[in-house]
Amino acid sequence: MNLSKQVSRPSSLRLSGCCFASAVIVLMNIPAPAAEGPLQLHLRFRNATPRGETTTSEKTVAWEPNKTALIICDMWDDHWCKSAARRVVEMAGPLNEVVKQARGRGVFIIHAPSSVTAFYKDTPQRRRAQAAPFAKTPVALATVERWGTAWCWTDPKHEAVLPIDDSDMGCSCEGTKCPINPPWTRQIATIELAPQDALTDNGQETWNLLRERGITNVILCGVHLNMCVLGRPFAIRQQVYLGMNVALMRDMTDTMYNPERPPGVDHFTGTDLVIAHVERHWCPSFTSTDITGKPAFKFREDRR
Ligand SMILES: [Zn+2]
C-alpha cells in the first residue's frame, strides 16, 4: 500500500474508519495530521508592509522528523509566581501528549529545565547531552550571563522593543504580588523523559546534540516566551543566530506579564502580543494541532 497516498487523503474521507476522533476532527474542521512521514507544519509568518502595518501569511512546510528537535524550555516543577506555576501545571499534561506524539514520529526531544540539570545528574538523558561530541558553532555562542546561564538579550539590530512591559518580572496574580524567590528544583514530573531524549540547559551541549544528528529544524515550546524561550542559550534567538530553521509552538507557551503594566491588556492578550513579536522579528509559529490533530491548547483562565 502506498502510505503517502493514504495519508494525503482529506480528513473527510477518514470517517469510513468510524473513529470518534476523526469525527471530532471533521466537525471542528481541523485537518488530521499524517501519522507518518514529514511533519506538516502550518507556519504563521508576520511581515511589515511598506505602510508600516503587519500582515500574517501562512506557509505549509514538511519537516523530516529525524532532522527536527523539540526543545522544552523551563517547564519547572514550581514557580515564584503562583499564577505562572498554575499555568505550567495546566499546560504540562497537554504538552506531554504533544511530546509523546512528536517523539513517536522520530522527533528528537531535548528537555531544557534551566538551572536544575543537576537534579538529572547521572541520568541517561543528561549524560547523552554531556557525551555528544564537540561541534564548533558557525557563530560565537552568547556569553553574557543572566540567571546563571549565557543569555541572548533583546537585539535592537534584529527586533523592536518587546510589546509588553515585564520590568516588574511579570507576576500576573491579582491583589498581592508574589515575592521573587525561585523555588524550582526540577522539570515538572508530568513531562516524561524517554530513554532516547536528552536533557541540557547549555548552548554548546545543545549544538553538539543537534550537529551529531544532522538536525536543522528546531521547535521551541515551554515558558516564558518574553524571557527564557527567547533568551536562553538553547532558545529562539540563539538558534536563529546559529542558522537553524526555528519555529515556535505558540499554544504551548506562556509569558510573565502583569496586566497592570503597559500596554494594560489581559495576560493572554499580552502573550499573543509577544507571539506576534516573535513572528515578526524571529521565527514563524504553529500550533500543536499540526502534531496531534487536536484543537490548540488554551488556558482555562483565558476567557476571551
Ligand atoms: Zn504571582
- pLDDT grade for 30, boundaries at 50, 70 and 90: low
Distance 266 CA to ligand 1 centre (A): 14
Residue 27 has pLDDT above 90, yes or no: no
At 129-186, the pLDDT tens digits run 999 999 999 999 988 889 888 899 899 999 999 999 999 999 999 999 999 999 999 9
Type of residue found at 248: L
- Give 285's strand partners: 44, 248
Query: Residue 35: its pLDDT value, please?
Result: 73
Q: What is the mean pLDDT of residues 262-266?
A: 97
Residue 18 has pLDDT above 60, yes or no: no
Distance 304 CA to ligand 1 centre (A): 21
Average pLDDT score over the chain: 91
Distance 296 CA to ligand 1 centre (A): 25
Distance 82 CA to ligand 1 centre (A): 5
Share of the chain above pLDDT 70, in %: 89
Residue with cell 494525503: 8
DSSP annotation string for 84-137:
HHHHHHHHHHHHHHHHHHHHHHTPEEEEE-TT-GGGGTT-HHHHHHHHSPP---
At 69-119, the pLDDT tens digits run 999 999 999 999 999 999 999 999 999 999 999 999 999 999 999 999 999
Distance 78 CA to ligand 1 centre (A): 12
At 222-261, the pLDDT tens digits run 999 999 999 999 999 999 999 999 999 999 999 999 999 9
Distance 230 CA to ligand 1 centre (A): 21
